[in-house]
Structure 1
Amino acid sequence: MMTVINDQGVQDLAHRIRSLSPKRRRALMAVLEKQGVDLSVLDLVRDLFGSGAVPLSTRRPDEPVPLSFTQQRLWFLAQLDGAGSAYNIPMAVRLRGHLDRPALVGALREVVLRHEALRTRFVNRDGVPYQHIGDGTDFEVRQEDLADLAELPRICAQEAAAPFDLEHDTLIRARLLRRSDQEHVLLVTMHHGVSDGWSVGVLHRDLIALYEALRAGRPSPLEPLPLQYPEYANWQREWLDDGVREPQVAYWRERLAGVDPRLSLPTDRERPPVKTYNGAREAFLCPAELLDALREVGARNDATLYMTLFAAYSALLHRYTRQTDVAVGTVVANRGRAEFEGLIGFFANTLVLRTDLSGDPTFPELLAQVKRRALEAYEHQDVPFEAVVDALRLERSLSHSPVFQNMFVLQEAQTSQEAKLGDLEVLPVEVDVQATKFDVTLDLRETPDGLAGFVEYNTDLFDAETIRRFVRHYTHLLASVAAEPQERISRLTELPAAERRRVVEEWNEAPAGLVVEERCVHEWFEGVVAGAPDAVAVEFEGRALTYGELNARANRLARHLRELGVGRETLVALCLPRSEYIVVCVLAVLKAGGGYVPMDPAAPVERLEHVLRDSAPQVLLVDGTVPEGLDTAGVPVVDVRVDAGVWAGLSDADLDRVEGGSGPGDLAYVIYTSGSTGTPKGVMVEHRNVTRLFTATDGWYG
């Protein structure tokens, strides 16, 4: 029976297919054909997610080959930062069993001969970089004995950290370490300029096929490649010039308009003025039951596992930063044509997914948004990230990467067949990678044991314990999503029970035996006055006031303020230079029952006028003069030095609480923010907010 799909269904299907890896895409297309989907519909789907009309063509041998756009970016970074290891792709495996060493070495050489990308160097001709493809004769497999297995981690880390010279080195190197006749370790390191994550799988498959053929004395079973990476680089430029670039760039220009590349994660150290690549990794594993539950959450919301994990990651970044506009980088294979799938080379492209977490959405609402943004991004994935950055015209900084600082990756799981080399047992070796491209990269992979992953982080910004806590929070948030998949983001928890108990309960317990008295700030002060009236309280430029004198002056001024209408939670602005009068005035306002608003007389007059208008004080206290240009119309002005005689004859006894019973819950003061991110805003602080510092710090203030 023929299956009918409408036009919208065809487009949705094309977007969904395009979001898959090439391997899964082929499998899905085969299933659709078996299910009887109209072949004309299948052709339309192929057109929608295909690579465009520009044909692929071979190049002339004498024709200079430009770098692809991704290669060009890495070449530029190498010129800017010098040779480094941040863009190395290291691999290490232990081989257990009888190894045919000549066959393995021969297979590695055949892989290099098969793929021109692995024989490529980046040459500079008058400031313009080109690909130079060698003949492969300079590739060698270093073979040596491994005397002590305990040395392996150091050797792997050393190999991963060794930089490549893009102009003079072969951009792949290999070492074969012999532990015994039955155990070897193979190290292979490629530069990202000639490889990517998909290429690693191609290398594995080619190496297995060639090793088994050489060991058996058979010719290579691999079909000749229809083209090489240099053809892709030429085709990419021709294709983007064929009317493809501008519509895709226009989408990204609109989608990323106004994006803030700085995600304000709490760091352990300040960001250095020049970005570094010093890094480390923290590995983790989520159990298989949780992975199955997360797949189910995605399926119920018609979303992929990738979208589910990404939505949870965005929610965690929101919880950490309180930012509602979160931009995260991600990677796509970018191999939309069948001819590219068997090639080793740097095809992968970077996309930016921007998520809006305002309004406290439910997780299904967030997931729907992530799905929509991801499908749009896949539809516009062909334009190189470098062209997107150029189109945004962002102000570049040496301290951070453009557009985003956090990366999210979900790798395709390897099959058990890919973990075999003939009859050898192949065991992955963890490589201590000490370089990173971004502040934080979350790299995940589906495995039979569950969701395996690691967080790669910049060690100049974060300590290991900080990242371990970050990992715990992400895995616990995933568990919270699985348990309460319909909940709002604010209700999901990233804190494990023990950590939540420590933060919420233990850290908020009052010290044993502490009795918190509900008194106002000035009442605490009056208690000190009663105990030591003759002790010096304030000194300034040779002048001193005892506690008794300070209290008496504040009481007299407080009575005058009450005569001017100051009462419970009435605001009084203080525009005073630094002197003992500040302390007198603060205490007087509090004793009168009001709250004070500090104003720096040296601040710009525009800020002073904003504070004055916004707070609408009952009285403005100054010392000598009103700042030049400040409009005080409608606000009574009292000069605490010139007008002091007005209240000199009033009682200096402590005042009773104002009518209505002012207390610890009343305003003590209003402090205005800097206004660096917008209009300054007044923050209201109660008496109890201040007095708790005296009661909850176990005597810090004496």
Structure 2
Amino acid sequence: MTDLIQELCRLFARALELEYVTDDTDFYLAGGHSLSALALAVSVEGATGVPVRVRDILECATPKLLAARLAEARAGAPDPAPQAAGEPRRAEDGTVPESVRWLWLARQGSHGGGAYTVPCLLRGEGELDVDRLAAAVATLPARHPALRTVFVERQGSPRAVVTDRVAPLDVVDLRDTPLTEDGFEALVQDRVEVPFDLTEGPLFRSTLFLRAGGAWSLLSTADHLVCDGRSLAILADELVDAYGRDGTPSAGPAQGARPAVGRPDGAPSAEPAQGTRPAADSREKSLAYWRGLLTPPPAPLLLPVDQRRSGPAGAVTDTVALGIDPRVTDRVRTLAATAHAGLFAPLAAAVASGLGGLTRTDDVCLGTPVDRRSLLGLDDAVGFHVATVPLRLDLSGHGDPAGLVRHVAARTADALDHGEVAFDELVATLDPPRSEGRGPFFDVWVALFPRIDTGPAEPGAIGLRGGPFLQRRGMFELSFQFVEEERGLRLCLQYDISRYARDTAEQIAARVLAELDRLAGEPEAPGQPPNDSPAPAFQGFRFDA
């Protein structure tokens, strides 16, 4: 047991990026969150040969407690067969993973590809050499085959083809063009909306905006089939590194880099690295989990819409952006750590609780993405490596904030543990009732976008800071997008303008932030009695499912 605890202390420290931890270090209080818990679960399983879930990390958050659970699991279990780490294999026929296939199919019936674009706007720091930056940008597709992948249709299914098509850096000189910030954002929006051709490519492009006073910004835009949110952070770090090497490519492709292709059975194209879990081993268990969670299917939320449904959700959207005070953010982080959760859990809890109070229901189902890189052994890979999952929450019986956040954290951990099933397979298997223009299981999306920050610009180098750039097109009626900033958070509520008036969206966003304040334990104003009553429901709107 002592040797096991020491090994777990080493793995905990690596996952937390700490020099060392003790046997009673709480993973979440030390800075862990759901994705780092997934990485820890995979590394512990690889080191011990005992299956480990994110739920195990959630319930046994110290090396000592986890060692006891692993020892119990080992008792009476057969010795695991040795597992060799193999080289990544690629399908010769270009078969794509199930998650990519689902996204490709969803695009075919959508109102346009703009909703499936992943744009990122970064503010540049440091004295810029445009030629060096262009050379550095050119190294990114060379390292990541996904950025050179295009998709062709074969008998109604997508096939991935890796090409040598690369878009050079596009330079837009605005130094002599007076522009307000709104005018600049409109110019960026126009660039973002230039469509991608999936069959021709390239599906990744970069635009440099030179502005007055030596300021500059870099817009990276990719099709979602070859890029996700985590990919943007990876690319920013690599771009800064390549710039520091005068655009000289590093040796070979990135570790874990692969095109967006898979094996004919739908499993990922790369063989799971040592310690990762093959998807086929737990597929049936995962389907059973989702069947139990989503049967009967969640009822549509009776949201306070202003107009009846017409056409697909999110065809044209607008955004309400509200800042979250840094002091509130600090209290939210504390609540998350004490509830053994990452920052996402209290944010999703606030959305669920706010909408639950608004619609008078305890059964709220949200959609969210989960990153599966650690399970696939592709921690540094660029591509589409996320799964869409329904997060069905039971708000009854969770009167205290920590209890509600723990419930959300547990459901998130279970979603990570059962993320092998692609969303379209889940829909096809469970076959929930659907109405025109409405997606299955949920109408509301919630996501957290960590801030991209490559650090200060050293002499002769550059730095990049920023995050996602919100678009005019979406995929959902309401999308709650929390964006980390240098201090605090910002809630960007993207809403379907064919369904909601702006003042309605503003009230919904304000209600969610009020709920976040309540969950985080916002102090009462001096001399004011505590207010334990729930916020009043909206009045005067037509509730239309």
TM-score by length of 1: 0.60
Q: Indicate the residue corresponding to 1:315 in structure 2.
A: 353
Of stretches 285-294 and 106-115 in structure 1, the one that deviates more from structure 2 is: 285-294
Q: C-alpha distance in 2, partners of 1:372/1:23? A: 12
Call closer, same or farther: CA 1:186–1:318 in 2, change over 3 Å. Answer: same
Q: Indicate the residue corresponding to 1:171 in structure 2.
A: 203
5 Å-filtered alignment, 1:402-441, equals: 402-415=440-453, 417=455, 423-424=461-462, 426=464, 428=466, 431=469, 433-441=471-479
Tell me if structure 2 keeps the 8 A contact 1:96–1:182.
Answer: no
Call closer, same or farther: CA 1:70–1:360 in 2, change over 3 Å. Answer: closer
Q: C-alpha distance in 2, partners of 1:394/1:374? A: 21
Of stretches 99-108 and 409-418 in structure 1, the one that deviates more from structure 2 is: 409-418
5 Å-filtered alignment, 1:232-243, equals: 233-234=262-263, 237-238=266-267, 242-243=280-281
Q: C-alpha distance in 1, partners of 2:33/2:336? A: 15
For residues 1-30 of structure 1, give each alpha carbon's deviation from its aligned partner in whole angstroms, at most 9, with x where no partner exists: 94877xxxx9xx999899633599469989
State the structure with bigger RCO (CA 8 A, min sep 6), 1 or 2. Answer: 2
| One-letter identity of the residue aligned with 2:259 | P
For residues 571-622 of structure 1, give each alpha carbon's deviation from its aligned partner in whole angstroms, at most 9, with x where no partner exists: xxxxxxxxxxxxxxxxxxxxxxxxxxxxxxxxxxxxxxxxxxxxxxxxxxxx
Q: C-alpha distance in 1, partners of 2:442/2:458? A: 38
- Residue 349 of structure 1 and its aligned partner are, at CA, apart by 1.0
Q: C-alpha distance in 2, partners of 1:287/1:307? A: 18
Q: Indicate the residue corresponding to 2:167 in structure 1.
A: 139
Q: C-alpha distance in 1, partners of 2:457/2:319? A: 23
- Residue 368 of structure 1 and its aligned partner are, at CA, apart by 3.6
- Does residue 110 of the first structure (1) align with residue 139 of the second (2)? yes
Aligned length: 481
Call closer, same or farther: CA 1:432–1:314 in 2, change over 3 Å. Answer: closer
Q: C-alpha distance in 2, partners of 1:111/1:467? A: 39
Q: Indicate the residue corresponding to 2:188 in structure 1.
A: 156
- 2:292 pairs with 248, 251, 254, which one? 254
Q: Indicate the residue corresponding to 2:383 in structure 1.
A: 345
SS at match of 1:310: helix
- Does residue 182 of the first structure (1) align with residue 210 of the second (2)? no
| One-letter identity of the residue aligned with 1:444 | F
Tell me if structure 2 keeps the 8 A contact 1:477–1:493.
Answer: no
Q: C-alpha distance in 2, partners of 1:252/1:135? A: 40
Q: C-alpha distance in 2, partners of 1:359/1:60? A: 48
SS at match of 1:345: coil
Q: C-alpha distance in 2, partners of 1:82/1:270? A: 18
- Does residue 384 of the first structure (1) align with residue 418 of the second (2)? no
For residues 489-531 of structure 1, give each alpha carbon's deviation from its aligned partner in whole angstroms, at most 9, with x where no partner exists: x945447xxxx9xx99xx9xxxxxxxxxxxxxxxxxxxxxxxx
| One-letter identity of the residue aligned with 2:285 | P
- Residue 211 of structure 1 and its aligned partner are, at CA, apart by 1.0
Call closer, same or farther: CA 1:390–1:142 in 2, change over 3 Å. Answer: same
Q: Indicate the residue corresponding to 1:20 in structure 2.
A: 34
Tell me if structure 1 keeps the 8 A contact 2:260–2:383.
Answer: no
SS at match of 1:329: strand
Q: Indicate the residue corresponding to 2:53 in structure 1.
A: none
What are the ranges of 5 or more consecutive residues in structure 1 without an aligned counterpart? 508-676, 678-702
Q: Indicate the residue corresponding to 1:72 in structure 2.
A: 101
Q: C-alpha distance in 2, partners of 1:322/1:141? A: 51
Call closer, same or farther: CA 1:316–1:424 in 2, change over 3 Å. Answer: same
SS at match of 1:326: strand
Q: Tell me which structure has the larger Cα radius of gyration.
A: 1
- Residue 74 of structure 1 and its aligned partner are, at CA, apart by 2.3
Q: C-alpha distance in 2, partners of 1:36/1:214? A: 44
Q: C-alpha distance in 2, partners of 1:320/1:475? A: 13
- Residue 280 of structure 1 and its aligned partner are, at CA, apart by 1.9
Tell me if structure 2 keeps the 8 A contact 1:327–1:404.
Answer: yes
Call closer, same or farther: CA 1:394–1:465 in 2, change over 3 Å. Answer: same
| One-letter identity of the residue aligned with 2:361 | Q
Q: C-alpha distance in 1, partners of 2:347/2:129? A: 42
| One-letter identity of the residue aligned with 1:167 | T
Tell me if structure 2 keeps the 8 A contact 1:280–1:434.
Answer: yes
Call closer, same or farther: CA 1:235–1:37 in 2, change over 3 Å. Answer: farther
Q: C-alpha distance in 1, partners of 2:319/2:460? A: 31
Q: Indicate the residue corresponding to 1:674 in structure 2.
A: none
Tell me if structure 2 keeps the 8 A contact 1:15–1:378.
Answer: no
SS at match of 2:137: helix
SS at match of 1:352: strand
For residues 286-306 of structure 1, give each alpha carbon's deviation from its aligned partner in whole angstroms, at most 9, with x where no partner exists: 112112222333344444432
Q: C-alpha distance in 2, partners of 1:385/1:429? A: 26
For residues 616-664 of structure 1, give each alpha carbon's deviation from its aligned partner in whole angstroms, at most 9, with x where no partner exists: xxxxxxxxxxxxxxxxxxxxxxxxxxxxxxxxxxxxxxxxxxxxxxxxx
Tell me if structure 1 keeps the 8 A contact 2:335–2:520.
Answer: yes
- Residue 274 of structure 1 and its aligned partner are, at CA, apart by 3.9
| One-letter identity of the residue aligned with 2:351 | Y
Q: Indicate the residue corresponding to 1:290 in structure 2.
A: 328
- Residue 69 of structure 1 and its aligned partner are, at CA, apart by 1.6
SS at match of 2:259: helix
Q: CA RMSD in A?
A: 4.2
- Residue 265 of structure 1 and its aligned partner are, at CA, apart by 0.9
- Residue 236 of structure 1 and its aligned partner are, at CA, apart by 7.9
- Does residue 101 of the first structure (1) align with residue 139 of the second (2)? no
Call closer, same or farther: CA 1:278–1:15 in 2, change over 3 Å. Answer: farther
Q: C-alpha distance in 1, partners of 2:41/2:349? A: 26
| One-letter identity of the residue aligned with 1:186 | L
Tell me if structure 2 keeps the 8 A contact 1:316–1:477.
Answer: yes
Q: C-alpha distance in 2, partners of 1:307/1:427? A: 25
- Residue 83 of structure 1 and its aligned partner are, at CA, apart by 3.8
- Residue 315 of structure 1 and its aligned partner are, at CA, apart by 0.9
For residues 207-231 of structure 1, give each alpha carbon's deviation from its aligned partner in whole angstroms, at most 9, with x where no partner exists: 111111016xxx4446643443337
SS at match of 2:471: coil
| One-letter identity of the residue aligned with 2:34 | L
Q: C-alpha distance in 2, partners of 1:422/1:371? A: 43
Call closer, same or farther: CA 1:14–1:400 in 2, change over 3 Å. Answer: farther
- Residue 281 of structure 1 and its aligned partner are, at CA, apart by 1.8
